[in-house]
Amino acid sequence: MSGERPFGPVRRIGAIVLRHLYLLRGSWPRVLELIYWPTVQMILWGFITLFLLGHSSWIAQASGVLISAVLLWDVLFRGQLGVSVVFLEEMWSRNLGQLFVSPLRPIELVAALLAMSLIRTLIGVGGAALVAIPLFGYSVFDMGLPLIAFFANLIVMGWSIGLMVSGLILRNGLGAEGLAWFVVFALQPLTGVYYPIAVLPEWLQGVAFFLPSSHVFEGMRAALFEQVFRIDLLVNAVALNVVYIGLGAGAFLWCFRIARIRGQLLHIGE
Amino acid sequence: MSEAAITVRHVSKSFGSVVAVDDLSFDVRPGTTAALLGGNGAGKTTTLAMLLGLLLPTRGRIEIFGVDMIRARYRVLGRMNFSSPYVDLPKRLTVAENLRIYGLLYGVRDLSARLRRLAEALDIAALLDRPYGQLSAGQKTRVTLAKALLNEPELLLLDEPTASLDPDTADWVRSYLEEYRDRTGATILLASHNMTEVERMCRQVLMMRAGQLVDEGTPRELLERYGRRNMEEVFIDIARARRIALKPRSGARRARS
């Protein structure tokens, strides 16, 4: 009856991932929804690119810059949304009480949220990236190894924000669930997704420096326009992300402890 | 190490100025069924949540099988389980999917065989491929009971295990729980408003009122002490006393849980 079996944490993380894969498997509209918005955004920016090619010498130097930008932005957004929505699923189904009377630890739930976010992002953004190849003759995969570095940094930043948002929802209840859909967009103007950071006023450039995503998008433009991989920007993004993910996980675990003090795990839900 | 399955010592829980549980102390011996009784707002659900580790007490000590539930709950969570009609399973997943996930969370060996045995014993084999959200209240109760028994718990905490069940299904659930306790030597603590259930199943009754333990004993002892014929009359005696006792204390209000 008692005693921990080997690989307990891996098995429990796998159980939560399996729970959400069952949910996806049981509903094709959910899978379609994952691909739908990234693809619509990519098509929109693809046509804007086609228009601007004849009107902008900047776009003409690297025709894939806007499509790459929108796809990479979606890595950040979908990474954050993946964590928050998967957590919200547990709250909507009033399942947190059942989960946390089992041997599942909060940090294992965090790991499962990150794993599901990765799967959802790969389905959504990966699908849109594949559609871009026949539609616009542009493959984001041509960036090669730098793409992996950009992807990894953006999804880690998305996870960090997703964990903070999930913690806030846990602390404040489902009335705060809207945060999951809009909070990340506050960062978009500062991130320089579609334009260089140099465009920003000087004081905002100082703020942008503290966003890992700013360094990623500057790096993306360097790779596309100058065909160079800026190690300095990568180091900045990684260093900031170490701080971000620590803050994100810490905030979530702190909010979890507050929920245990307030008794929210048993009662929270729709 | 404590000999009791459950040891609660001077446990209190406040939510701001609201005192939900006030200096609660009791033991539950292994292999017995105990009942936590009390009117609405007596603190039963709060107490169960603290025993499960879902809620941190403001002060006091809780041990399950001698393990400190505040500091080391993960050492013992795999040996216990919980069922409540008020805490759901994911509605869109099928019964089989839900049970498989919880089987993995509890590290159940030979999970497929265990699921087959439980499905047969609890008569839910025909429900395995149906979404949990589409089941009737009685079917849901049997499924959540199957979830609670997946890991063959040594301690089973049940919040109103027969609430909203018809008399036939309720009787069947009680019989199953008695058989499980006798076969495995498990300890059961249930919160209930059903006095017939308590008289039938429980060797120990813990009577709560306004967050405090006001009486304790076997059903027979309580009937004699209050000079009543059944537990329902004992319950009413205590509820009436509650109205008298519930005068506001300075700076504190009583909770409704």
> How confident is the model at residue A134, as a pLDDT?
95
Q: What average pLDDT does range A88-117 have in this prediction?
A: 94
Q: How many domains does chain B have?
A: 1
- CATH code where residue B173 lies: 3.40.50.300
Model confidence at A166: pLDDT above 90: yes
All residues of chain B having their beta carbon less than 8 Å from the beta carbon of residue A97 are 54, 84, 87
Determine, yes or no, domain membership for B1.
no
DSSP code of residue B213: E
CA–CA gap between residue B172 and residue B162 (Å, rounded): 10
Whose CA is closest to A13, among A117, A127, A156? Answer: A117
What percentage of chain A has pLDDT greater than the value 90?
A: 78
DSSP code of residue A139: -
What's the pLDDT tens digit per position in A176-188?
Answer: 888 888 899 999 9
First-to-last alpha carbon distance for chain B, in angstroms, is 32
Q: Do A263 and B49 touch (CB under 8 A)?
A: yes
Q: Which domain holds residue B248?
A: 6-254
Model confidence at A1: pLDDT above 60: no
What's this model's pTM, rounded to 2 decimal places? 0.89
Pick the range with the lowest mean pLDDT from A15-24, A160-169, B159-168: B159-168
Determine, yes or no, domain membership for B115.
yes
**Best residue in B73, B104, B111 for a mutation probing chain A (most A CBs within 10 Å):** B104
Using a CB–CB cutoff of 8 Å, tell me whether A101 touches chain B. Answer: yes
Determine, yes or no, domain membership for B116.
yes
Using a CB–CB cutoff of 8 Å, tell me whether B82 touches chain A. Answer: yes
Q: What average pLDDT does range A126-130 have in this prediction?
A: 96
CB pairs A-B closer than 8 Å: 108
DSSP for A19-72 reads HHHHHHHT-HHHHHHHHHHHHHHHHHHHHHHHHHHTT-HHHHH-TTHHHHHHHH
All residues of chain A having their beta carbon less than 8 Å from the beta carbon of residue B104 are 11-12, 14-15, 18
**Chain B: nearest CA to A76, how far in angstroms?**
28
Model confidence at A5: pLDDT above 80: no
Model confidence at B194: pLDDT above 60: yes
**Best residue in A16, A100, A101 for a mutation probing chain B (most B CBs within 10 Å):** A101
Across all residues in chain A, what is the average pLDDT?
92
Using a CB–CB cutoff of 8 Å, tell me whether B110 touches chain A. Answer: no
